[in-house]
Amino acid sequence: MTANLLEVEDLRVRFHLRTGIVEAVRGVSFQLGRERLGIVGESGSGKSQTGRAILGLTPPPGEVSAKRLTFDGIDLLKASRRTLRTLRGGRISMVMQDPKYSLNPVMTIGEQIIEAYQAHRKASRAEARDKTLAMLEAVKMRDPVRVFSLYPHEVSGGMGQRAMIAMMLVTDPDMLIADEPTSALDVTVQIEVLRILDELVTTRGMGLIFISHDLKLVSSFCDRVLVMYAGHVVEEIAASNLRDAQHPYTRGLLNCLPKLQDDVRPLPTLTRDPAWAL
Amino acid sequence: MLDIQNLSVVFGAGRLRVDAVKGVSFQVEPGASFGLVGESGSGKSTVLRAICGLAPISAGRVLVGGEEVRSPRDKAFYRTVQMVFQDPYASLHPRHTVDRTLSEPLAIHGEKNAEARILEALREVGLGPSFRFRYPHQLSGGQRQRIAIARALILRPKVLLLDEPTSALDASVQAEVLNLLDDLRVRLGLTYVLVSHDLAVVAHLCERLLVMRQGEAVEETTAVALRSGAAADAYTRALIQASQGFTRGAVAPA
Amino acid sequence: MAGAPPLSPPAGTRAWLLSPEPASRWQARLGRFYLGWRAFSKNPLAVLGLGIVLLLVLVAIFANLIAPYSPIVGGDLRTERLLPPSAAHLFGTDDLARDIFSRVVYGSRTTLWVVMLVAIIATPIGLLMGTVAGYLGGWVDTVLMRITDIFLAFPRLILALAFVAALGPGIDNAIIAIAITSWPPYARIARAETLMIRNSDFIAAVKLQGASTPRIILGHVVPLCLSSLIVRVTLDMAGIILTAAGLGFLGLGAQPPMPEWGAMVATGRNYLIDQWWVAAMPGAAIFVVSLGFNLLGDGLRDVLDPKAAR
């Protein structure tokens, strides 16, 4: 096994629209080991499309190309649908923004996790049930047996997202892609969910791609940060060195947030240089 | 300017009864900016909606300029109090041009020289006359929110109710809109009531604020106190802590 | 055919139409219209439907110029009855020695008249009932929607039959009967759309500007319901034509000797085996026009339906 879990080189995502071709991702390259990588950008920067392209979830008119897109040596662009299906949810998982839309509303949370588990691992129902309960406990559900038999609408947003994480991690994936996993949650709940995610990723030694618009959050959570603008990476930086960011866009993003500690007014704004998009 | 006394808002009845706001009181001086902070379900937006008549006042009183508001609100009320909504994608009519959106309040109140006032309103929010005949789908999120602000200001109100005006926007656009709001308040002598879940935004824009939780007022404090981290209530402290971002804590110090 | 739009304006005009910064209300509106047209003209079937409908309108307007014979006065009953299609009589002649082509051409006026009147009567009723019920809610909603339900509870043709029987046969009464029976679905659609938008922020925003309820309904709710309603009405046109033809076929619509496609099919029924053209020609006209409206409606849905659009 290679040291790098995921290798991405010159990833491009194009959308053929009526109005012409729109390139959402324009030549993104990075490697991911068993570490926490953050991808940060504003809306339209292509950060979500990057995550989706890796999993082969680019929506229909989109077209993905790359010089290299391999997961653990498997070429994701050439892999058969069958291989991709076993990878997705098995060795690679994804947590989406809003649990309301990613959980099946007519199935109990427990059933959904069991189904996710049995889809990828040969296991008896009793075994899957034990695994599910253990997983619900791992995401700090106070009463796993009760949560097991609840429907998604019966739990709060934070619990829903934790159930989602439990479902995504029950198969012990090697890599997790989290696309704005906590943006729909309240701040206090957000921290709690992140703490659970952090603990699971650390103890299981997974690779994590954390996609978010929140530079502050990503930098405090990840080891390494890719800053995306207009479809490509403008800066790659270790999270601890964020204060020394070179690119004006990264610096602008950091400075334009109002801070609780000091009162700057007017807030510095971002002057967008057309050259960044080249 | 604004005096909220013991305001309660109840939706539904019987088994479906929801006490969205439970006896909240606060006062806002003319020209001041007051913040309402809380998480979802805290009733902070409902307070705003009750002030302007979009939610019922079940108990308590709402006084604007010393006078208790009447239900339904009269036209004079809407000339004094206006609101900016959270989602600029939902608050503009998708089939109306900017021109139509801005001329609507003028037409309702029978105002003269609409053309000049529309152009002035656009200038105030930092948009040129070239934006006048665009449709919302031809505008970015930040531009839409500027139009929504222009619409709220075109009748020259004294009080502006801001319901999470920047939470749907990108960070860099948020900074621009916050600066605009700051600037407009000074220039036009406006009174603000700002609702937000983001402590930093509230502290930036407001002098005083009320922390709410599950429909109740937790603590009234000032932005200055918030900056120094002083808070009497544990919940307020938890909010301050959370707004600092993720900390790895004892497991692996960052 | 699907490629270039049939009416492609020169580059300068196109740039003006598509300008992201329109300089006037007109330019903005035209630009929007042009975008819609561009999407519409990409769909060859929709353009075909539009062509058929336009052809119907043109034929109806210029019927007296197009028709070679009188639609009412026949030829020699001894020699010119039931002639097969020929150069002299394109669609043949009927049992009263009248030229079927001329009758079909004049019949388009009846059809268009029915379609237009029904659209003009039924659409506003349905739109108003639906938006008022949806926006005001409460007991107004209950009362209006129960009335709608009563009308919906009867099969359309049967109810139209009852009305015509009460009002007396004739094309105008048939139109009134069809209009009365076709508005309930429009009211349902308009109400459903209104329920979706009445709690949206932009409606709350106009409320907060002090707008009156009629102003909100007419200026802000109706425009958003209109597009899906136009689509539905266009798609219903085929059904309306068929209902009118059905009434005519049963002798309750247009009265002889007025040329009406349904009534013409009814007379042709007697000669169906040996003189097929008597029934087939007006039948084909009904079929083509119904198809045209259906295709047009489908095309319009792609352009106008806000959910299908970006």
Distance from the Cα of A72 to chain B's closest Cα (Å) equals 28
Distance from the Cα of C29 to chain B's closest Cα (Å) equals 9
Listed in sequence order, the residues at least 6 apart from A11 whose beta carbon sits closer than 8 Å to its beta carbon are A25, A27, A28, A29, A50, A53, A54, A64, A65, A66, A69
B2: β partners: B28, B64
**What confidence tier does C58 reach under pLDDT thresholds 50, 70, 90?**
very high
Grouping H, G, I as helix, E, B as strand and the rest as coil, residue A38 is strand
On chain B, the residues whose CB falls within 8 A of the CB of A265 are 179, 182, 204
Asked if B95 and C210 come within 8 Å (Cβ–Cβ), the reply is no
Backbone angles phi, psi at C214, to 5 degrees: -60, -40
Q: Answer yes or no: is pLDDT of C2 > 50.
A: no
Q: Round to whole Å and give the CA distance between C95 and C117.
A: 31
Nearest CA in chain C to B90: C201
Q: Round to whole Å and give the CA distance between C225 and C186.
A: 10
pLDDT digits (tens, 9 = 90+) for C196-223: 898 899 999 999 998 999 999 999 999 8
On chain A, the residues whose CB falls within 8 A of the CB of B185 are none
> What is the full per-residue pLDDT of chain A (278 aa) written as tens digits?
446 889 999 999 998 876 678 888 988 999 898 888 999 988 888 888 898 888 888 888 888 989 989 888 888 888 888 888 888 888 888 888 777 778 888 889 889 999 888 888 888 888 899 989 988 888 888 888 888 888 888 888 888 888 888 888 888 888 999 988 887 778 878 888 888 888 888 888 888 999 998 888 888 888 899 999 988 898 998 988 888 888 888 888 888 888 887 777 788 888 777 777 77
Of B87, B135, B148, the CB nearest to C28: B135
On chain B, the residues whose CB falls within 8 A of the CB of A216 are 245
Domain extent listing, chain C? 1-42, 47-304
Which residues form the domain of B123? 2-243
Establish if B90 touches chain C: CB-CB under 8 angstroms.
yes
Listed in sequence order, the residues at least 6 apart from C162 whose beta carbon sits closer than 8 Å to its beta carbon are C154
- In this structure, what token pair is assigned to residue B7? 């305001």
Of A42, A216, A252, the CB nearest to B245: A216
Of A202, A213, A259, the CB nearest to B200: A259
User: How far are the Cα atoms of A28, A61, A129 from residue A67, in angstroms, in the given order?
Assistant: 10, 20, 42
Distance from the Cα of B123 to chain C's closest Cα (Å) equals 16
Backbone angles phi, psi at C123, to 5 degrees: -60, -50
- In this structure, what token pair is assigned to residue C151? 């009308």
What fold, for A6-91+176-277? Rossmann fold (3.40.50)
Asked if A261 and B227 come within 8 Å (Cβ–Cβ), the reply is yes
Residue B155 is assigned to a structural domain of this protein: yes
Domain extent listing, chain A? 6-91+176-277, 103-170
Q: Round to whole Å and give the CA distance between A176 and A48.
A: 14
Distance from the Cα of B244 to chain A's closest Cα (Å) equals 8
Q: Answer yes or no: is pLDDT of C183 > 50.
A: yes
Residue C305, pLDDT score: 64
Please give the residue that has the higher pLDDT: either C238 or B146: B146
- In this structure, what token pair is assigned to residue C298? 């489908």
Measured at the CA of C29, the angle between CA C24 and CA C35, to 5 degrees, comes to: 130
B27: β partners: B3
Backbone angles phi, psi at C95, to 5 degrees: -65, -20
- In this structure, what token pair is assigned to residue C122? 């039924």
Asked if C208 and B90 come within 8 Å (Cβ–Cβ), the reply is no
Q: Round to whole Å and give the CA distance between A250 and C189.
A: 49
For helices C100-136 and C44-61, give the axis angle rounded to 10 degrees: 120
Please give the residue that has the higher pLDDT: either C31 or B154: B154
Asked if A260 and B248 come within 8 Å (Cβ–Cβ), the reply is no
Asked if A262 and B204 come within 8 Å (Cβ–Cβ), the reply is no
On chain B, the residues whose CB falls within 8 A of the CB of C209 are 78, 82, 104-105, 108-109, 151, 155
Please give the residue that has the higher pLDDT: either C142 or A155: C142
Establish if B243 touches chain A: CB-CB under 8 angstroms.
yes
Select the residue from A19, A42, A191, A201 to test the B interface by mutation, using most B Cβ atoms within 10 A. Answer: A191
Q: Answer yes or no: is pLDDT of C54 > 80.
A: yes
Q: Round to whole Å and give the CA distance between C270 and C296.
A: 34
Residue B212, pLDDT score: 93
Nearest to B202 by CA among A260, A265, A217: A260
- Average of per-residue pLDDT values in chain B: 89
Contacts by residues C158-163 (CB-CB < 8 Å, ≥ 24 positions apart): C160/C243, C160/C247, C161/C247, C161/C250, C161/C252
Nearest to A24 by CA among A65, A69, A75: A65
Alpha helices in C213-276 (DSSP H): 213-216, 222-249, 261-268
Asked if C202 and B87 come within 8 Å (Cβ–Cβ), the reply is no
Asked if B78 and C223 come within 8 Å (Cβ–Cβ), the reply is no
DSSP B83: E
Residue B251 is assigned to a structural domain of this protein: no
Grouping H, G, I as helix, E, B as strand and the rest as coil, residue C42 is coil
Residue C274, pLDDT score: 85
Residue B143, pLDDT score: 93
Task: Specify the pairing of strand B208-213 against strand B33-37.
Answer: parallel
Distance from the Cα of B19 to chain C's closest Cα (Å) equals 20
pLDDT digits (tens, 9 = 90+) for C88-128: 888 888 888 889 999 999 999 988 998 899 989 999 999 99
Nearest CA in chain C to B50: C208
Nearest CA in chain B to A253: B172
Mean pLDDT of B206-211: 93
Number of other residues whose CB lies within 10 A of the CB of residue A262:
7
The superfamily CATH assigns to domain C47-304 is MetI-like (1.10.3720.10)
Q: Round to whole Å and give the CA distance between A184 and C39.
A: 36
Asked if B91 and C202 come within 8 Å (Cβ–Cβ), the reply is yes
pLDDT digits (tens, 9 = 90+) for B142-165: 999 999 999 999 999 999 999 999
Listed in sequence order, the residues at least 6 apart from B143 whose beta carbon sits closer than 8 Å to its beta carbon are B127, B131
Residue B226, pLDDT score: 87
Q: Rg of chain A over CA atoms, in angstroms?
A: 19
Query: What total number of domains does chain B contain?
Result: 1
**What confidence tier does B253 reach under pLDDT thresholds 50, 70, 90?**
very low
Nearest to C299 by CA among C32, C54, C53, C42: C42
With beta carbons less than 8 A apart as the criterion, state whether B180 and B126 touch. Answer: yes
Nearest CA in chain B to A196: B248
Residue B252 is assigned to a structural domain of this protein: no
Q: In what order do the strands lie in the sheet with B2-11?
A: B18-28, B2-11, B59-64, B67-68
Percent of chain B with pLDDT strictly greater than 70: 97
Nearest CA in chain C to B135: C28
Q: What does the DSSP assignment read for B114-147?
A: HHHHHHHHHHHTT--GGGTT--GGGS-HHHHHHH
A212: β partners: A40
pLDDT digits (tens, 9 = 90+) for B13-41: 888 888 899 999 999 999 999 999 988 88
Residue C246, pLDDT score: 83
**What confidence tier does C15 reach under pLDDT thresholds 50, 70, 90?**
confident
On chain A, the residues whose CB falls within 8 A of the CB of B39 are 186-189
Domain at B74, CATH number? 3.40.50.300
With beta carbons less than 8 A apart as the criterion, state whether B210 and B24 touch. Answer: yes
